[in-house]
Structure 1
Amino acid sequence: MSQPPPNVAYARLRAEAQLLGAPLPPLLADAEHLAQTVLLGAHGRRRAGMGDEFWQYRSAEVGDSARMIDWRRSARSDENYVREKEWQGAQSVLMWVDRSASMRFSSLKSGVSKADRTALLAMAMAVLLMRAGERVALASLGTPPRIGNLQLLRISQGLTDPADEDYGVPEIRGMLPHSRALFVSDFMGDIDALAGQLTKAADRGVKGAILQVLDPAEEAFPYDGRTVFESMGGTVRHETLKAADLRGRYIERLAERKDRLSGLARSTGWRFETHHTDASAQSALLWLYGALEQVR
Structure 2
Amino acid sequence: MSGPAVGLRARAEALTAGLSPLLVAAEHLANSALPGAHGRRRAGAGAEFWQFRPAGASDGLARIDWRRSGRSDEVFVRETEWQAARAVALWVDQGAAMDYSGDRNRPTKSARAQLLAMALALVLLRGGERVGLALPGHPPRAGRAQAERLARGLDTAPAALEHATPDLSAIPTGGHALLFSDFLGDLSAIEASLNLAASRNLRGLLVQVLDPAEEGFPFDGRTRFESMSGHLTFETLRAGDLRAAYRDRLAARKDMLSALARHAGWRFTTLHTDSPAAAGLSWLYHALSLEQRR
Fold equivalence (TM over 0.5): yes
In 2 relative to 1, CA 26–197 (structure 1 residues): closer, same or farther, beyond 3 Å? same
Q: Contact 1:143–1:174 (CA<8 Å) still a contact in 2?
A: no
2:147 to 133, 146, 152: 152
1:23 to 9, 12, 18: 18
Structure 2 residue matching 1:152: 3-state secondary structure: helix
CA-to-aligned-CA distance 1:125-174 (integer Å, 9 cap, x gap): 11101001011111224321112233211211121223221112222132
Match of 1:289 in 2: 285
2:193 to 193, 197, 201: 197
Letter in 1 for 2:255: D
Alignment RMSD (CA, Å) = 2.6
1:239 to 216, 230, 235: 235
CA-to-aligned-CA distance 1:189-230 (integer Å, 9 cap, x gap): 111221110111121111011110000000000111111111
Q: Distance in 1 between matches of 2:274 and 2:227?
A: 21
Q: Distance in 2 between matches of 1:254 and 1:212?
A: 12
1:183 aligns with 2:179: yes
Match of 1:143 in 2: 138
1:206 to 195, 202, 208: 202
Instruction: Give the deviation of 1:244 after TM superposition.
Output: 1.0
Match of 1:278 in 2: 274
Q: Distance in 2 between matches of 1:100 and 1:38?
A: 29
Instruction: Give the deviation of 1:283 after TM superposition.
Output: 0.4
Match of 2:76 in 1: none
Q: Distance in 1 between matches of 2:80 and 2:190?
A: 37
Q: Distance in 1 between matches of 2:290 and 2:254?
A: 21
Instruction: Give the deviation of 1:23 after TM superposition.
Output: 2.1
Q: Give the TM-score of the pair, scaled to structure 1.
A: 0.79
Match of 2:117 in 1: 122
Q: Contact 2:222–2:239 (CA<8 Å) still a contact in 1?
A: yes
1:163 aligns with 2:159: yes
Instruction: Give the deviation of 1:183 after TM superposition.
Output: 0.6
Q: Contact 1:51–1:89 (CA<8 Å) still a contact in 2?
A: no
Q: Distance in 1 between matches of 2:39 and 2:141?
A: 20
CA-to-aligned-CA distance 1:176-197 (integer Å, 9 cap, x gap): 1001111111011111221110
Q: Distance in 2 between matches of 1:33 and 1:191?
A: 34
1:254 to 250, 255, 259: 250
Letter in 1 for 2:270: T
In 2 relative to 1, CA 108–71 (structure 1 residues): closer, same or farther, beyond 3 Å? same
1:113 aligns with 2:108: yes
Q: Give the TM-score of the pair, scaled to structure 2.
A: 0.79
% identity of equivalent residues: 48
In 2 relative to 1, CA 160–141 (structure 1 residues): closer, same or farther, beyond 3 Å? farther
Q: Contact 1:45–1:88 (CA<8 Å) still a contact in 2?
A: no
Q: Contact 2:206–2:268 (CA<8 Å) still a contact in 1?
A: yes
Q: Contact 2:39–2:128 (CA<8 Å) still a contact in 1?
A: no
Structure 1: gaps (5+ residues): 1-19, 60-69, 74-83
Q: How many residues are aligned here? A: 257
In 2 relative to 1, CA 22–43 (structure 1 residues): closer, same or farther, beyond 3 Å? closer
Q: Contact 1:98–1:169 (CA<8 Å) still a contact in 2?
A: yes
Structure 2 residue matching 1:28: 3-state secondary structure: helix
Q: Contact 1:142–1:174 (CA<8 Å) still a contact in 2?
A: no
Q: Distance in 1 between matches of 2:257 and 2:103?
A: 25
1:217 to 199, 207, 213: 213
Q: Contact 2:257–2:268 (CA<8 Å) still a contact in 1?
A: yes
Match of 2:128 in 1: 133
Q: Distance in 2 between matches of 1:42 and 1:111?
A: 30
Structure 2: gaps (5+ residues): 1-14, 64-78
